[in-house]
């Protein structure tokens, strides 16, 4: 049985009582007591466990919902968010009628390496610490469309070092959850443009120097730790991104 983290009667200076409770609940979620997709206990019991009023608990849950950690479903309860399944890169591109499809994925190479300084900074690890580098090719109708360089922290992703990549599936995040217990909670994408180097151009069957769209991604788990740094390149002529402003 887990040890409960009761809310102090006098929260730290500058922190509200419901804010302290939200932090305590978040700690229990991050510790894995309630896995992604699972329901939190009923509100009355949870309030009693932490020694707070029901109104305080509801304020804390509302704060966690604002932070994107939980979702409150009317008539059903409060659930830990399941996180991202794929956060598709194809939303940045339009390749014929491929909109909405999940591209076929193939791991081209896999290496455990000392992380370069720039990669280590993105992953939040020390320069030279071990990381897993994947090169992945993504195709639609057997035509290569995206080439990716993916960095994952070690030893957290050690289960991927020797497993058969053919069984990983086309989406990485569900496999990270199953094989490594890592649940991607959110991701930040940064878009820029450049030119394809020789290796990437060859993989995409384009000319060296062809214009490319580059999407750099950091993906984070429930605790806010970076669990993936990814660089995705695709034909800039196919780049198309729509944002609705309301």
Q: Model confidence over 14-32: pLDDT tens digits?
A: 568 888 899 889 888 887 7
Q: Residues 45, 74: contact at Cβ < 8 Å?
A: no
Does residue 211 sit in helix, strand or coil?
strand
CATH 1.10.10.10 positions along the chain are 17-80
Q: Model confidence over 64-121: pLDDT tens digits?
A: 988 888 888 888 889 988 777 666 788 888 887 655 678 999 999 999 999 999 999 9
- More reliable by pLDDT, 123 or 102: 123
9 confidence band (pLDDT: 50, 70, 90): low
What is the DSSP secondary-structure string of 74-99? TTTEEEE----S---GGGGB--TT-T
243 confidence band (pLDDT: 50, 70, 90): confident
Mean pLDDT along residues 114-136? 95
Query: What are 109's strand-pairing partners?
Result: 135
Q: Which fold does the domain 89-238 belong to in CATH?
A: Chorismate lyase (3.40.1410)
Model pLDDT, residue 33: 87
224 confidence band (pLDDT: 50, 70, 90): confident
CATH number listed for the domain at residues 17-80: 1.10.10.10
Token reading at 140: 């639609």
CATH 3.40.1410.10 positions along the chain are 89-238
Q: Model confidence over 137-148: pLDDT tens digits?
A: 999 999 999 999
155 prior amide bond cis, ω within 30: yes
246 confidence band (pLDDT: 50, 70, 90): confident
Residue 106's H or E segment, with its range, is: strand 104-114
Q: Model confidence over 149-197: pLDDT tens digits?
A: 999 999 999 999 999 999 999 999 999 988 998 889 889 999 999 999 9
């Amino acid at each position: 049985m887990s040890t409960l983290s009761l809310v102090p009667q006098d929260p730290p200076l500058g922190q509200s009582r419901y804010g302290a409770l939200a932090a305590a609940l978040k700690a229990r979620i991050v510790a894995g007591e309630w896995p992604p997709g699972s329901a939190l206990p009923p509100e009355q019991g949870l309030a009693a466990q932490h020694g707070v009023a029901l109104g305080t608990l509801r304020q804390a849950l509302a704060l966690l919902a604002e932070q994107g950690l939980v979702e409150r479903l009317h008539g059903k309860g409060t659930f830990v968010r399941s996180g991202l399944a794929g956060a598709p890169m194809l939303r940045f591109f339009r390749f014929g009628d491929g909109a909405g499809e999940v591209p076929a994925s193939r791991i081209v190479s896999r290496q455990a390496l000392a992380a370069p300084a720039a990669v280590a900074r993105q992953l939040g690890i020390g320069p030279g610490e071990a990381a897993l580098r994947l090169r992945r090719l993504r195709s639609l109708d057997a035509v290569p469309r995206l080439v990716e360089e993916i960095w994952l922290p070690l030893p957290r992703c050690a289960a991927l070092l020797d497993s058969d990549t053919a069984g990983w599936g086309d989406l990485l995040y569900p496999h990270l959850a199953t094989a490594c217990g890592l649940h991607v909670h959110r991701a930040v994408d940064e878009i820029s443009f450049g030119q394809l180097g020789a290796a990437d151009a060859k993989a995409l069957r384009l000319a060296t120097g062809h214009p490319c769209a580059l999407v750099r991604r950091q993906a984070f788990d429930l605790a806010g730790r970076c669990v993936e740094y990814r660089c995705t390149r695709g034909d800039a002529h196919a780049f198309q991104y729509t944002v609705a402003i309301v």
